[in-house]
């Protein structure tokens, strides 16, 4: 500190060194603050230059924000922990660049949110799904992995965390505690497409069916072509297409999904998908490409216009095979398969257009 021409010149270089502890000084110049010496003849001479005060305030604000980020970081999910669940030789195949953060919950948190797993929404191959409520009142679904198969949990978490699309069920967080592997997602109110088509007598207008098909197609196009890391869902079927309160579609269940982060074709010796929706070509050589999802989606289109399950047998053959064989002879041969609710004269051209897409 020194006095020159009635000015007290104070160098605040120590402050910029302090801000360096927070990693913020790279964007801030080392600005000396000049303060006038008290002069009784000049009542306003004690004020600092406004621009320097603003600079000082911005440093403090950024430091506080950075401290808050550090605090949040310790409560956030770490992908490195999950990678430890996957066999070391297989980890390179599951390296992704996640595009959104998720929360890390404790088992106690989820016990409270689900009211001790009071309401079961469904069961699948890898786990059970329960209804829950966040502190802010938002409804959630909690998937609890049975048998605590860590590798299955890790792979599904890695893939789902990579996806951020309005027609994919949003992943909110996870729990990675011992014997408590769980995923927390948004709650989707209207069940799944399979229940709507096959276990519900409510009419389903053509426009809703088409919208569901379009939204599923948009989600698949995003996963296949517009993500940094390509994702193959591996189990597209009506049971994995959830419907919100306005019957908008959301893809769910990434337990069989794969990431294609290299130019090499994925090969697997394991069965992927569900009976009736598996690409026959995959069964021949085990090559997994986006065409697998496209085939499954074609079967879903058939279910949307026929309102019959993919496993339905017609004349001793599967309905998918019966449909493709009849369609090869022209549209007239498949009209009898259309759901009577939508197979009227006004809709016929649209329905035939859907048939072309499902081939």
Which positions are catalytic? 235
C-alpha distances in Å from residue 132, one per residue of 116, 118, 126, 166: 9, 9, 19, 21
Q: Are 280 and 244 in contact (CB under 8 A)?
A: no
CA 31 – CA 54 distance, rounded (Å): 12
Supply 117's token pair: 């797993």
Q: Are 130 and 120 in contact (CB under 8 A)?
A: yes
- Interacting residues of 48 by C-beta distance below 8 A, sequence separation 6+: 33, 34, 35
Three-state SS for 333? helix
189-216 burial string, b = 16+ CB within 10 Å, else e? eeebbbebbeeeeeebebebbbebbebb
CA 217 – CA 297 distance, rounded (Å): 8
Name the residue with tokens 């490409």. 289
């Amino acid at each position: 500190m020194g006095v020159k021409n009635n000015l007290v010149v104070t160098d605040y270089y120590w402050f910029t060194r302090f801000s360096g502890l927070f990693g913020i000084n790279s964007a801030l110049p080392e600005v000396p603050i000049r303060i006038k010496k008290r002069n009784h003849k000049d009542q306003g001479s004690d004020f600092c230059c406004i621009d320097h005060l603003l600079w000082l305030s911005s440093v403090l604000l950024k430091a506080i924000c950075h401290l808050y980020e550090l605090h949040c970081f310790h409560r956030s999910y770490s992908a490195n922990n999950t990678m430890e669940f996957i066999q070391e030789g297989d980890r390179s195949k599951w390296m992704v660049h996640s595009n959104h953060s998720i929360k890390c919950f404790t088992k106690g948190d989820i016990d409270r949110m689900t009211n001790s797993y009071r309401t079961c929404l469904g069961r699948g191959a890898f786990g059970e799904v329960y209804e829950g409520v966040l502190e802010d009142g938002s409804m959630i679904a909690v998937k609890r992995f049975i048998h605590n198969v860590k590798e299955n949990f890790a792979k599904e978490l890695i893939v789902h965390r990579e996806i951020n699309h309005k027609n994919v069920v949003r992943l909110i967080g996870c729990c990675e505690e011992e014997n408590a592997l769980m995923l927390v997602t948004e709650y989707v109110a209207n069940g799944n497409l399979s229940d709507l088509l096959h276990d519900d007598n409510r009419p389903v207008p053509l426009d809703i069916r088409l919208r569901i098909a379009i939204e599923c197609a948009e989600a698949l196009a995003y996963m296949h072509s517009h993500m940094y890391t390509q994702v193959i869902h591996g189990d597209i079927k009506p049971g994995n297409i959830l419907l919100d309160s306005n019957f908008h579609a959301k893809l769910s269940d990434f337990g069989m999904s794969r990431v294609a982060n290299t130019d090499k074709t994925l090969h697997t010796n394991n069965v992927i998908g569900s009976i009736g929706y598996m690409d026959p070509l995959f069964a021949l050589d085990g090559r997994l490409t986006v065409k697998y999802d496209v085939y499954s989606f074609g079967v879903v289109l058939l279910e949307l216009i026929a309102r019959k399950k993919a496993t339905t047998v017609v004349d001793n053959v599967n309905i998918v095979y019966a449909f493709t064989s009849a369609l090869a002879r022209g549209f007239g041969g498949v009209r009898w398969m259309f759901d009577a609710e939508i197979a009227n004269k006004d809709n016929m051209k649209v329905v035939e257009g859907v048939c072309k897409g499902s081939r």
